Structure 1
Amino acid sequence: MRRNVRGVLIAALAACIVLAPLGIAGQAFAVSGGSDSLGARTTATDWYFAEGTTRSAFTTYIAILNPNPDEARLTFTYLTGSGDPIVREHTAAPSSRFTIDVSSDTGPEQDVSTLLHSSLPVVAERPMYFRFPRGPETGVQDEWDGGHDSLGATAPGTVWHFAEGTTRYGFVTYIAVMNPGDIEARLTVSYMLGDGATSLATHLVPPHSRYTLDVAGDVGDDKDVSASVASTSPVVAERMMYFKYAGATDGGHDSLGARSTANDWWFAEGTTRSGFATYLAVMNPSDSEATLDLSYMLEDGGTIQRRHTALAHSRFTIDVSADVGTERDVSALLHSDVGVVAERPMYFEYMGCWDGGHDSMGATGTATDWHFAEGTTRPGFVTYLAVMNPGAVETSVQLTYMLGSGSPLSRTIAVGAHSRFTLDVSQDVGAGRDVSVWLHSDTGVVAERSMYFGAPRKGLTICVDPGHSSTTRFEIDPATGLDVGDGDGAAGELQANWDLALAAREELEDAGYDVRLTKQNVEDYVSLRNRAEIGNTCFVTVRLHHDPSGFEGVMRPPVGAARCPTSDPGRITVIDTGVAVESDALARCIAPEMGLRVRDDTVGTTKANATPAGYPTCLIGSLLSRVPVVCIENKYLVYTPESAYWAKREYMRGLVRGIDTYAASRSPSTTP
């Protein structure tokens, strides 16, 4: 699935390096899931998408990669189930990534297919995010949230094949058909089941329209099916699936159909690591049994060979973990002695909290060029490129990243022989970027882009501690013997941090969070114990200070930090390890968004406390916390209303973005 995926996951948990397919930040609802797409081998002037909707709780985008040195003029023709086509014009800047929110072109409550025509060759994909309503058939209301993505077709055709599909309980499968022609299209759908049984269904699609068929309506319930769609006139077909896999993992995935069968199918992505289930679905439409030879390629260059048999006119499924074992990241080459179609569905709980699934049709061969229109490094998402090199020698791969604005970025990587390589896009382009990718290799490779996402969970409560009081007091905490009295801080700090806290509260509330301040007025006195107790009722605590030495940074308590009363050095209080680990993760999410460094929590003490020998130190307020806590130290010593530094909205928006990133990577079960 990923190069050194365990290390990547640990890094994501510790550093909160997360990315995002465009658009989810603007949604009115939060979702988690993933999507995957095989790259496009070539650019084209026409791209067709059968699926798309602007119904409530669905968001549909078209992402365009323009690799040309000139502006591309884009004409979108949207076909609905009824009525006249909707036509809109847009432009994509040279060497850039461009995105359209389909609802802004068509309005709400429309099921649409899309034809994109460009004045120059481009690449286009269609990402979608959703909350799929379920429950009327069982009387139990439910929503399956997630997202899926599909590369467009470059032309309509009269035959489309789908290896994957099921009508089992917990799955809903549709086929969307776009008829861009001037005459009615008559569809004959051939369904192939796991036992070799077949069934036929017919459907009519009016000209210039989009049509959706419910597979369960054709074959009944509790069937694993492959499907071939034959049409009397050229159409475009996609298969969408929505699911609650194993009764727990909800989401959806989508695939454009294959135009023909093939003897070889290549898959760059795949993993059998904990939290992931990977399958290969094979459709054998031929009159004879198919012998399937699987070659799995590992990241260390090793290979694993397996053989399977698929009945004639049947759907066959391979559990990849049964072939290669667990804890493997794999690419796969499937060779059949007769023409077949193959897809790779995957289901997952990414980082233990973002559940969903994705699916990709295999490639029918290697190529030296692969293009991806979709991709982003916004908070709340992780984006990877998986590259499979089936060749006998190492290959050099050049990556060109085209951004929403600015100049393209480039990087070259080496991929070993008979191996797969996985790249975290954020490591190349940084955070907060919408990005398309052009991949060029010296020799033939296969490339896929996988994305995982989880919108920050709004409704969480954030504690903001303005720091210090108008008076200095000595106050002993009975539980620890520590001095938990507070002081008045540095000159000007009281008012400056109060204004900053109010700005933080406003920005956090605008972002959908609830906020608790540790005091209600700038002059209020609140002990360090009471501040911690207020914070312990919240998701995280953010403390605001400034330092007279000019020190600045986002401080977090180190693991193992401890304090003791000066009068009783044997009475040691050690910080909770889980709090320290999570505080470090929180600090690493916030610091880059605010333009600050992560620092040890060592600045500032109370006079009656000491640090025991052999222990790192930390602030008393951090020591008493039971939730992740950071202290933001600011170096500015002179506060004037005219400076407006403390109330700058962008500074506090950085704090919000950092908390968003942290929240997106944490589920309630993993938060202290």
Structure 2
Amino acid sequence: MSWFRGAALAALAFFAAVPHAGAQGASTWYLAEGANNATFAQEILVGNPSAQALKVTVTLLPQSDAIAPTLTKTFDLGPSARLTVRLGSDFNLNGSASASVTAVLASDNATPADVVVERTMYFPGATQSGSHNASGVTQNGLSDRWTLAEGSGGVFETFVLVANPNPTPTTVRATYLTGTGESFVTEQVAPANSRVTLYPRGEHVPLASADFSTVIESLTAGNLVIAERAMYFDAFHSGHDALGVTGPSTTWLFAEGFTGGNAETAFETYLLLANTGTTDTVATVDYLLDNGQVVTRTYPLLARQRFTVWVDQEGRTFDSRLTAAAFGIRVTAASPIVAERAMYWGTPSAGDPTMPTFPWREGHATAGTIAGEAKWAFAEGQQGRFGAAATTFDTFFLLANPQNIPVLVQATFVREDGKGIVRTLCVAPNSRSNIWTAEFPELAGQRFATFLESINSSDPACAAVANTGFVAERAVYSGAGFLAGHVNGGTRWTGAIAAPPVAPAFAVTSVSPSSGRLAGGQTITITGAGFQQGAKVLFDNSTWTADRNANTKLGDVDQATAVVVSQDGTTITAKTPTRDFYNGYQTAGPTTVRVVNPDNTNTSLANGFTFKLNVLAFGDEYVTGLINGSPGVAATPFPARLEASLKAFEKDLLNSSTGAATGSKVLQFGQYVTVTNGGSNFECASATNTGCTAQSGQSRFPALADQVAAANASDAFDAVIFAEGVNDVEAGVLPNSVAGALRNMVASARDRKIVIFMTKYEETNIGTLSADSVKALGDAIWGVTTDTSLGVEIYRQSFFQVPTVGGRPTQAGYDRMASDLFTKLTREFPLQPCDARNDKPGKGCPRNP
């Protein structure tokens, strides 16, 4: 097991649940903490485990100084789905506010419906380097007394948040219990349907440097409240939060703690014990090591005091087995107490690599649980990235089995789109296990709620019984090196958990069009599921040479450009990688289309896209292959001969460092080359004069190019060979008019990203044309190829002394034309990048130094 999956997950696994968090009557919820402003960004998360659509109403209970233009808003929540409410964009809240959340069936807009609710806050501002999370409290979970074991001054800024969901004001008393036996009291009135913020160090000077626990009481008869505590450090770049508990217990369980780390990150664990009673007691703490050993310590707890256990220091001074250790914690006390666990992590200290330096990178805290449950619910969960430049999230579920029999845990994940997955995990007796949602491709790039339950199992390896209690917690981490993180215990659940419609697995199912030109730059649509924002699209072919990208300064020419992922992650539009002379074109043929998500998960479709060399030979009867005499058409016009030659073409491979031939050859185009015969007998490039066809070449070319492209659902042609002009001159058209028509065709080809080859004839007997006329035509054609205003490179090919009879090529003449063009095309479509054999004068080759 890797450190990340082992020790790092140990650092994540702090199981917590509080006595008030039951899900009975879970249609109305309250959240004590909440703020949205320049420092904080808040989200309210609502999970629906039922197969029915709901209406969810969020009502803010703002602090008196908050700017809250909208107090109530209703949202749709589909069956087996998760809802995210953003207090910034959805409410325009500027300030602090508690909240209530209610859910009813959408079918009648009246019948209460059970949901699970949490709240997550990110800070500070745009950097969001810190985060914390807490569960809501149901109507039945409200109390007139709350206890928070943790609280501190010094490097911490501690705040106690109390929500008053009552229609009348409530007087709140806070009693702070320090580690020295001193206690301090503050009373404050919480307005109706509002909240108050207590600032201990601002209320009592000694608390600016003291550790303390807090007891919150409602002094207004019949008015029940909710209390949370938030602590920040490093100028509000980091912090944690915990919901209070409504009563002490003689037993508290924590599934794990961690005092180790690696070269980049070290962790430390604290146990916070509050004796809120009036008599002294003793707490026995068992540290349950991974190897089955138990380290036991006993701590005296004086009445009305708080006690801190620094577990790392226990390993240094009491028992070395607690150094760089992963462990569970069991706390038992002679009299009821309250227990929390806090953890911090950061860069290892130079003198002690197991101790993080201050300021810590981040921290989180939670209360313990007093017993296991058969069902747990979580509203928060995120995996992967949400946007090309967004932070990466990782979610972990930590499962502890305190029983002497196995527990088979069924996890139901429901995404925001109403789809989900169901997975199971066997947790051995008196053991613990972890679920890392990155292992489920269906959750990549998704936000989700999660419902856990113990079920029956007939498997002898996991002889589990339904409704066996276990402990569950969820940790969410974001950013590099766990830059931010929060932790929360699950909500006890009693209702049914419906199986969601199955979310499709991360996969590529089709690519359309499935083939296209070798030069690339063509738009394709990839269909599948699980595509994350910021995904890359790669094209893999085992025959492509090793120095494909290593030996060039150019970008990754096997990677798609202009990648756009749909919001639901089911389609990608992209452009195939553009190839040119300097990149090298590589071999034609099928490739594997591979999608790589930002979290480095990837999926592929074998033979998903085929690169083809598509060449258009465009012109007059010299292209169609007319000859004088019977049968009137050459057995093999030059386009057909050229195609046959290209299919058989083998290219020597070069050594990527020396440029010398390796002795190996590769079939560059093979069967994946097509030379389309786009000839039209007696066509003139520029005119429809007597002796010319009714449509000129300059009007026919763009229509033909688009027609073929549409038929193939792609940008069909890589290259076009223009062979025209003779008929124009024979019909009395001036060479300059031919040049103008060719310029129009060049512009059309350029705009379609087609590589252009231009031909002319030299020392060839062409019908009734004089040598001067042939030369004048040739000079005009060559003038087009040097016209820089066209903004495109044109490759030139002279047909020199082509055998003709009566002004038309013989079969040998057509073969000669095909041979000349074959040499030209194989030169201008090189296999490898920076092939010196194909280097162009004055262009150079962008090799790496």
Shared fold per TM-score greater than 0.5: yes
1:147 paired residue number: 131
Q: State the structure with bigger RCO (CA 8 A, min sep 6), 1 or 2.
A: 1
Please state how far the C-alpha of 1:313 moved relative to its aligned partner. 1.4
2:5 paired residue number: 8
CA distance in 2, matches of 1:310, 1:553: 64
CA distance in 2, matches of 1:95, 1:224: 43
Change in Cα spacing, 1:431 to 1:35, as seen in structure 2 (3 Å) is farther
Please state how far the C-alpha of 1:448 moved relative to its aligned partner. 0.5
Higher Cα radius of gyration: 2
Instruction: Give the letter aligned to residue 229 of structure 1.
Output: I
Counterparts of 1:132-531 in structure 2 under 5 Å?
Answer: 145-155=129-139, 156-169=142-155, 171-220=156-205, 221-233=208-220, 234-244=224-234, 250-274=237-261, 275-299=266-290, 301-321=292-312, 322=314, 325-349=322-346, 355-379=361-385, 380-428=392-440, 429-441=442-454, 442=466, 443-454=468-479, 493-494=518-519, 496=521, 528=551, 530-531=553-554
Please state how far the C-alpha of 1:120 moved relative to its aligned partner. 0.5
Given that 1:144 and 1:251 are in contact with CA atoms closer than 8 Å, whether structure 2 keeps it comes out as no
CA distance in 2, matches of 1:239, 1:60: 16
Q: How many residues align?
A: 493
User: Any idea what SS the aligned residue of 2:403 has?
Assistant: coil
CA distance in 1, matches of 2:449, 2:184: 41
Change in Cα spacing, 1:168 to 1:314, as seen in structure 2 (3 Å) is same
2:60 paired residue number: 78
CA distance in 1, matches of 2:228, 2:421: 33
1:89 paired residue number: 74
Given that 2:287 and 2:328 are in contact with CA atoms closer than 8 Å, whether structure 1 keeps it comes out as yes
Instruction: Give the letter aligned to residue 241 of structure 1.
Output: M
Given that 1:48 and 1:115 are in contact with CA atoms closer than 8 Å, whether structure 2 keeps it comes out as yes
Given that 1:284 and 1:313 are in contact with CA atoms closer than 8 Å, whether structure 2 keeps it comes out as yes
Change in Cα spacing, 1:242 to 1:496, as seen in structure 2 (3 Å) is same
Residues 352-399 of structure 1: CA deviation (Å, up to 9, x unaligned): 999311111111222111111111223201111111112222222222
Change in Cα spacing, 1:406 to 1:145, as seen in structure 2 (3 Å) is closer
CA distance in 2, matches of 1:8, 1:102: 34
Change in Cα spacing, 1:81 to 1:591, as seen in structure 2 (3 Å) is closer
Instruction: Give the letter aligned to residue 415 of structure 2.
Output: L
Given that 1:168 and 1:223 are in contact with CA atoms closer than 8 Å, whether structure 2 keeps it comes out as yes
Please state how far the C-alpha of 1:258 moved relative to its aligned partner. 0.8
Please state how far the C-alpha of 1:554 moved relative to its aligned partner. 6.5
Change in Cα spacing, 1:362 to 1:547, as seen in structure 2 (3 Å) is farther
Residues 311-348 of structure 1: CA deviation (Å, up to 9, x unaligned): 22111111233255233332222111111111111112
CA distance in 1, matches of 2:47, 2:76: 11
User: Any idea what SS the aligned residue of 1:294 has?
Assistant: strand
Given that 2:145 and 2:246 are in contact with CA atoms closer than 8 Å, whether structure 1 keeps it comes out as yes
CA distance in 1, matches of 2:89, 2:128: 25
Change in Cα spacing, 1:306 to 1:417, as seen in structure 2 (3 Å) is farther
Deviates more, 1:378-387 or 1:394-403: 394-403
User: Any idea what SS the aligned residue of 1:426 has?
Assistant: helix
CA distance in 2, matches of 1:595, 1:445: 41
Residues 571-630 of structure 1: CA deviation (Å, up to 9, x unaligned): xxxxxxxxxxxxxxx999556278789xxxxxx99613479xxxxxxxxxxxxxxxxxxx
Change in Cα spacing, 1:326 to 1:35, as seen in structure 2 (3 Å) is closer
Instruction: Give the letter aligned to residue 232 of structure 2.
Output: Y
Please state how far the C-alpha of 1:94 moved relative to its aligned partner. 1.8
User: Any idea what SS the aligned residue of 1:371 has?
Assistant: strand
CA distance in 2, matches of 1:96, 1:364: 30
Deviates more, 1:276-285 or 1:426-435: 426-435
Instruction: Give the letter aligned to residue 654 of structure 2.
Output: K
CA distance in 2, matches of 1:71, 1:293: 48
Q: Residue 57 of structure 1: which of 39, 50, 54 is its match? A: 39
Please state how far the C-alpha of 1:636 moved relative to its aligned partner. 10
Given that 1:35 and 1:253 are in contact with CA atoms closer than 8 Å, whether structure 2 keeps it comes out as no
CA distance in 2, matches of 1:79, 1:636: 68
Residues 118-149 of structure 1: CA deviation (Å, up to 9, x unaligned): 2211110001111069xxxxxxxxx8831110
User: Any idea what SS the aligned residue of 1:121 has?
Assistant: coil
Please state how far the C-alpha of 1:185 moved relative to its aligned partner. 1.4
Deviates more, 1:151-160 or 1:289-298: 289-298
CA distance in 2, matches of 1:144, 1:225: 28
Instruction: Give the letter aligned to residue 374 of structure 1.
Output: E
CA distance in 2, matches of 1:168, 1:104: 35
Please state how far the C-alpha of 1:273 moved relative to its aligned partner. 2.5
User: Any idea what SS the aligned residue of 2:590 has?
Assistant: coil
TM-score of the two chains, using structure 1 as the length reference:
0.64
2:564 paired residue number: none
| 2:592 equivalent to 1:552 | yes
Q: Residue 120 of structure 1: which of 113, 119, 122 is its match? A: 113
Segments of 5+ residues of structure 1 without an aligned counterpart are: 13-32, 134-142, 458-490, 501-507, 512-525, 534-541, 556-585, 598-603, 612-634, 647-672
Deviates more, 1:35-44 or 1:124-133: 35-44
Please state how far the C-alpha of 1:281 moved relative to its aligned partner. 0.9
Given that 2:272 and 2:309 are in contact with CA atoms closer than 8 Å, whether structure 1 keeps it comes out as yes
CA distance in 2, matches of 1:144, 1:316: 32
Instruction: Give the letter aligned to residue 79 of structure 1.
Output: L
Given that 2:124 and 2:237 are in contact with CA atoms closer than 8 Å, whether structure 1 keeps it comes out as no
User: Any idea what SS the aligned residue of 1:273 has?
Assistant: coil
Aligned CA RMSD, in angstroms, stands at 4.4
CA distance in 2, matches of 1:291, 1:547: 77
Q: Residue 608 of structure 1: which of 652, 655, 662 is its match? A: 655
Identical residues among aligned pairs (%):
27
Given that 2:593 and 2:604 are in contact with CA atoms closer than 8 Å, whether structure 1 keeps it comes out as no
CA distance in 2, matches of 1:605, 1:100: 61
Change in Cα spacing, 1:591 to 1:400, as seen in structure 2 (3 Å) is closer
Residues 640-661 of structure 1: CA deviation (Å, up to 9, x unaligned): 9765699xxxxxxxxxxxxxxx
| 2:90 equivalent to 1:105 | yes
Change in Cα spacing, 1:529 to 1:408, as seen in structure 2 (3 Å) is closer
Change in Cα spacing, 1:412 to 1:447, as seen in structure 2 (3 Å) is same
User: Any idea what SS the aligned residue of 1:42 has?
Assistant: coil
Residues 43-101 of structure 1: CA deviation (Å, up to 9, x unaligned): 51111111111212321111111112222222221111238981211232222222211
Deviates more, 1:636-645 or 1:91-100: 636-645
Given that 1:183 and 1:206 are in contact with CA atoms closer than 8 Å, whether structure 2 keeps it comes out as yes
Instruction: Give the letter aligned to residue 115 of structure 2.
Output: V
User: Any idea what SS the aligned residue of 1:496 has?
Assistant: coil
Given that 2:384 and 2:598 are in contact with CA atoms closer than 8 Å, whether structure 1 keeps it comes out as no
Residues 440-471 of structure 1: CA deviation (Å, up to 9, x unaligned): 124221110011101899xxxxxxxxxxxxxx
1:656 paired residue number: none
User: Any idea what SS the aligned residue of 1:377 has?
Assistant: strand
Please state how far the C-alpha of 1:495 moved relative to its aligned partner. 5.3
Counterparts of 1:620-659 in structure 2 under 5 Å?
Answer: none
Change in Cα spacing, 1:127 to 1:587, as seen in structure 2 (3 Å) is closer
CA distance in 2, matches of 1:495, 1:149: 48
User: Any idea what SS the aligned residue of 2:232 has?
Assistant: strand
Residues 179-231 of structure 1: CA deviation (Å, up to 9, x unaligned): 11122211221111122221111212111112112121123311111111111
Change in Cα spacing, 1:456 to 1:390, as seen in structure 2 (3 Å) is closer
CA distance in 2, matches of 1:95, 1:369: 16
